[in-house]
Amino acid sequence: MAKKKQNKRNNQRVFLVILSILTVLFLIAVGIKVFRISKEKNNELTAYDTRNIDLMSQHRDKIFGIDISQYQGKINWKKVKTINHIYPIDFVYVRATMGKNGFDKSFEKNWKAAKEHGFRRGVYHYYRPNENSDLQILNFIPKVSLEPGDLPPVLDIEDLPTTQSMENLKKGLKKWLDEIEKYYGVKPILYSSDKYYADLLQKDFPDHQVWIANYNFWVNDLKDHWLIWQFSEKGTVEGIDEKVDLNIFNGNLYDLENLTVKDTIY
């Protein structure tokens, strides 16, 4: 009987030791996770989020949007509502195509989800300056259908050509813009960086509204000719794990509605 009691006590001690070890390991794991989350939030809020929130607070009379591509990964669209849990997202631009044969692998899913979750949506093409403009047009049109309420297509040009002159690049850009306008019945928007547009495009494309990327912390307001200002590439949006481009539309919801497509174009 004494031996049985001793064995029982030993088993209880072993059980308690194992339980204690598991408890300690669990608490360590929880602590590490909490530390990581806290560290990430503190790091993000120190510069980019603080700047973004402050800037948006200065433009409460305007509306805000995001633009996304496959680089944002899998998006939980049910959670996508606000920037930094404060400012509503009123429009979403989605990348569709790149160059003569590139296709964003998340386009169809994001394009459909943006509409299903009530966002005013738009689509953009990333223009590759060394590739043929006709082929880039043929890459875009078969993949993009527009419906009433969608925003105008956007041509994104950011890089300089290396295999052709700047003048030939401008001819290619003009052809893309003209053909897309003919097909969809709405004038496309031209996207570029502030310097690229001012130095190389402004004189040659005076009739196109522009979407300008400028992340300078010292710039606090839109220029009059900016239709949309992409003011940050480090935005925080719940439902999107990766950083997001943030944009201010230079107007109100009524102005945005006036830009939208009126007819369905397949």
Q: Residues 67, 104, 150, 194: which is the catalytic one?
A: 67
Tokens of 125: 């093409």
Q: Which amino acid, residue 100? A: K
> What is the rounded CA–CA span in Å between residue 72 and residue 244?
7
For 93, 111, 213, the CA distances from 85, given in Å and listed in that order, are: 20, 23, 23
Catalytic residue list contains 44: no
**Which residue spans within 39-159 are E strands per DSSP?**
63-68, 82-83, 87-98, 102-103, 120-126, 154-156
Q: Residues 108, 134, 158, 263: which is the catalytic one?
A: 158
Tokens of 92: 């979403």
> What is the rounded CA–CA span in Å between residue 74 and residue 76?
7
Catalytic residue list contains 238: no
Q: Active-site residues: which are they?
A: 67, 158
